[in-house]
Amino acid sequence: MKRPSGFTPPPEGRRPVRGSAAGGADDASPDASEAASPRRSTSDTSRSTSRAGSGSGKSSRGDSLSAGDKKPRGAEASSSAHSSTPGARAKKTGSSSKESRAARPGSSASSAGTRTPQPGDDDARASSGFLPSVRQARRERKRVERAEVKRFTARSRRRRRTWLIAGGSVVGIGVLAAALAFSPILSVRTIEVDGAVRVSSDAVVQGLQPIVGSPFPLVDQSAIKAELVKYPLIESYSVESRPPDTLVVKLVERTPVGVIDTGEGFTVVDAAGVVIEASNTQPTGYPLIEVPDGVTSEGFQSAAGVLRAMPDELRQKVASVTAKTHDDVTLKLRDTDATVLWGSADDGAFKTLALERLMAATDPATVAQYDVSSRKTVVVREQP
């Protein structure tokens, strides 16, 4: 077959796409139109021109007609579908692609003809191989963010962990100590009494037997007090726990300060007037307290306060104490006729020191009176 002059064969493997006379542009595939290259369009145009010049009556997609010629319907569609220029063909192809996309079910187009992206488009493209997996990218981003958060919060997490460990240790130790304290392991099995001189320690231990077997935190303090108040000679007491099984009761007995003549006998009393012991004869080693109204008077409180403030060595040198009011306490020394004008019970430490120095500096046998009632001036009055 003889080819017309000016005809250029298409590249090998590519065939020109021709539209039918009835409507080739609508039947042509958009993908095939988009795949066409400028070289292919030029070949098609040349081929159509050659056929037109040879006098063929058939219309092709490359035919060009004058403005005054009347185009057949099929030729007009073919000419519009296959333009002689690449730009026109690309425009038509793009328009056909948009129309085909808009015609797909489930798609939506805006007023300008553009398609609104749908939520599953990225995943669909990723599955087709056009885009990387969006899920993988999100997972990678979250992994990097978590790593950065861990790196920047490492110090605070270590500090919080340290505090939690310390708090847990303290709580654990407290729970363990409470468990041991309230368990039978740390309970009272032995009772010891310290400081008992006039009070029988065996009697005290026997009276406290009901608390034996109780855990140390559950020892009934009121029961101990109720037992010890039965002994008037006990002035105060304290309780000490000595694990694992010993309870120590420390007693402070009343300190006798003098003797009172009741007319029927003599009673040894402490500074509060509590009778420590009674006797028909005057006990030795204690001064005689001479007051007009007994242990409830103001004079007795002053005299007993003075004797209690004295050291034992000086108290044993006092034969008697007289007092009618708060400010006229007078002492009489043993084995001499010397007296001490003490005054009130205030400043007992200063008056005691002054009297000891005066007695050391002078012979009490030659002194009629030591006056230490005034803090500013002390006076020694000798016998005539």
Lowest mean pLDDT among 113-127, 213-227, 293-307, 360-374: 113-127
C-alpha torsion sign, points 79, 83, 89, 94: negative
For position 116, what pLDDT does the model report? 59
Higher pLDDT, 130 or 139: 139
State the pLDDT confidence band at 146, using cuts at 50, 70 and 90.
confident
Q: CA-to-CA distance for 123 and 138, rounded, in angstroms? A: 12
Percent of the chain with pLDDT over 90: 30
Band of residue 340 on the pLDDT scale cut at 50, 70, 90: very high
Beta bridge partners of 318: 333
Q: Taking CA 137 as the corner, what is the angle to CA 133 and CA 142, rounded to the nearest 5 degrees? A: 145
- In this prediction, residues 207-235 reach a mean pLDDT of 91
Alpha-helix runs per DSSP H in the chain = 24-27, 30-35, 38-53, 73-81, 86-103, 121-128, 134-152, 154-181, 201-207, 221-228, 298-309, 312-315, 348-361
Looking at the DSSP bridge assignments, the partners of residue 367 are: 382
Lowest mean pLDDT among 93-97, 157-161, 162-166: 93-97
**How far, in Å, CA of 283 to CA of 286, rounded?**
7
pLDDT higher than threshold 60 for residue 217:
yes
The most confident of 52-61, 114-123, 375-384, by mean pLDDT:
375-384
To the question of pTM greater than 0.85 for the whole model, the response is no
Give the chain's mean pLDDT: 74
**pLDDT tens digit sequence for 249-291:** 999 999 899 999 988 889 999 988 899 888 898 888 889 999 8
Mean pLDDT over 101-115 rounds to 44
Residue 159 has pLDDT above 90, yes or no: no
Average pLDDT over residues 350-357: 92
pLDDT digit string, tens, across residues 280-326 = 988 888 899 998 888 888 889 999 999 988 898 898 899 999 998 88
> ω into residue 244 within 30 of 0, thus cis?
yes
Arithmetic mean of pLDDT, 171-181: 84
Span 61-86, average pLDDT:
40
Q: Which of 66, 44, 68, 48 is nearest to 58 (CA)?
A: 48
pLDDT value, residue 268: 92
pLDDT band with cut points at 50, 70 and 90 for residue 188: very high
Please give the average per-residue pLDDT across 147-173, as a whole number.
Answer: 88
Output the pLDDT for position 354: 92
Residue 166 has pLDDT above 80, yes or no: yes
- Helices and strands in the chain, H and E counts: 13, 12
Q: What is the pLDDT of residue 60?
A: 37
Query: What would the DSSP string read from start to end of 299-353?
Result: HHHHHHHHHHHS-HHHHTTEEEEE-SSTT-EEEEETTSS-EEEEESSTTHHHHHH
In angstroms, what CA-CA distances link 61 with 70, 82, 95, 343?
16, 5, 18, 146
pLDDT computed for residue 207 by the predictor: 93
Share of the chain above pLDDT 70, in %: 66
- Residue 134 banded pLDDT, cuts 50, 70, 90: confident
Cβ–Cβ contacts within 10 Å for residue 89, how many?
Answer: 21
Which range scores top for mean pLDDT: 69-83, 130-144, 348-362? 348-362
Is residue 205 classed exposed, middle or buried when 0-12, 13-18 and 19+ CB atoms within 10 A define those classes?
A: middle
